[in-house]
Amino acid sequence: MTINLKNFLKDKPKFSKMGEFQELEPIEGLEISAVSADLYGTGRDDLCLFYFKDGTNYAAVYTNSSICSESITWNRQIRKSLIKALLVNTKNANTFTGQQGKDALDTLSKYLAKNLTLRESQKKDGTTQAIRPNEIIFASTGVIGDRYPTQKIKESTQDLVEKLREKQNKFIWFKAASSIMTTDTRPKLAFETCRVWNKDIRISAIAKGSGMIAPNLGTMLAFVFTDADIPSVYLKSLLKRTITNSFNAISVDSDTSTNDMVAIFATGKVKTGKFYNTLDPKLKDFENALQKVLLNLAKQIVSDGEGAKKFVTVKVLNARSVNMAKNIAFSVANSPLFKTAMAAEDPNWGRIVMGIGKSGEKVSPEKIEIKIGDFKVAEKGKIAEDIDENKIKEYMQWDSITVEINLKIGQANYECYTCDFTKDYIDINADYRS
């Protein structure tokens, strides 16, 4: 699929809560390249390499699906906290590929390691230190069950290595983010700065995702790069905490993929002091910045949901527990009836009530208050007084819509992000393999 520039460049409404595209800045210690292995047969970029000459601390969180990509299985078997490269392909998920998929990664890791080692040895300040296959990790996205295109990727590896660029300008970042897309209509990029030990730290990140998106990451890939000097064990804890209210707070179609992966890489080029735990106050600014980056990317994924026209925030207030609020929020957000009402710009609050009820949570109907935007539509177990449906319909023409459910039985809150269901969703997925 080619990039829909009209969709990418369109102005957001004044009060939009969608994630916003940001220009990324270079991360010292990182080199990037993206090429076409002609996996789509169209010549578009579909292969991306991230290379860390001096190695990088990293951590990753993967899908909770009981069936996962061979790429994820490979990564989980690597016990090193310091790696040298990440290779990402689109078009093929490398899932349900059997021994062929496993063997492919063994072949590619050896070939890529050989080419990277050769490249380093040819530099003026070249090193004789060999890059090992177990210092390379993989990410894949695309069609499940298709034979993995080992030969095509192998034949493109040398080109990937030759085109690695240390100076990451806006074009390189855009090219990398575009190369990992599947049904996405636009690349997803986010950037933040923060202070750690009184030193300026950069965080640049890209992601892909459009369909098969649900909590527990959805069919998405996200790669975060920072020049901070943070140990892998701390990166893991920080990542787990920050995905809770970002990538695990989104849903496009309630389907969880086999290939979900969010990874963070810390090159350590900006030297900081020692940390004693992940709750160290010196890491707080970094965690806040990381949270902003991930939430931005998560919102960009939802706003680019397959066929989506509306970005929808579902807020649940004053529940007995966060878990209760979360269950109700997703029960509403994942309802096809609710999502089609959003697409039709129809303030059918009865479908919100239905979503609350089917969650299985014990609520007090006579206490519930429901708002669409700032407009109260239901309260005290019935339709709200003085409801003006014409004004609500006018509000629902906006690209960004908020639904608020106040249970009034506790103090816990939760919000999730989803999108509408349109006819385009059916068309996109009906033609997914063609």
Tell me the C-alpha distance between 403 and 31, whole Å: 43
Would you give the end-to-end CA distance of the chain in angstroms?
10
Phi, psi of 263 (to 5 degrees): -130, 145
Eight-class DSSP state of 11 = P
Q: Which helix (H) or strand (E) holds 227?
A: strand 221-228
Residues ≥6 apart with Cβ < 8 Å to 172: 32, 34, 165
Our CA angle for 100, 257, 147, nearest 5°, is 20
E strand intervals along 229-310: 261-270
Of the listed 90, 97, 182, 219, which one is catalytic? 219
Number of neighbours of residue 315 by Cβ within 10 angstroms: 16
Active site residue 141: no
CB 373, CB 393: distance < 8 Å: no
Tell me the C-alpha distance between 184 and 203, whole Å: 23
E strand intervals along 80-152: 82-89, 136-140
Phi, psi of 420 (to 5 degrees): -85, 170
Tell me the C-alpha distance between 88 and 221, whole Å: 9
Tell me the C-alpha distance between 321 and 375, whole Å: 25
Tell me the C-alpha distance between 393 and 377, whole Å: 12
Q: Say how far residue 11 (Cα) sits from the centre of its chain.
A: 22
Torsion of CA 134, 139, 145, 150, to 10 degrees: -60
Tell me the C-alpha distance between 177 and 353, whole Å: 39
Tell me the C-alpha distance between 370 and 347, whole Å: 11
Tell me the C-alpha distance between 391 and 13, whole Å: 17
Tell me the C-alpha distance between 240 and 86, whole Å: 20
Catalytic site positions: 219
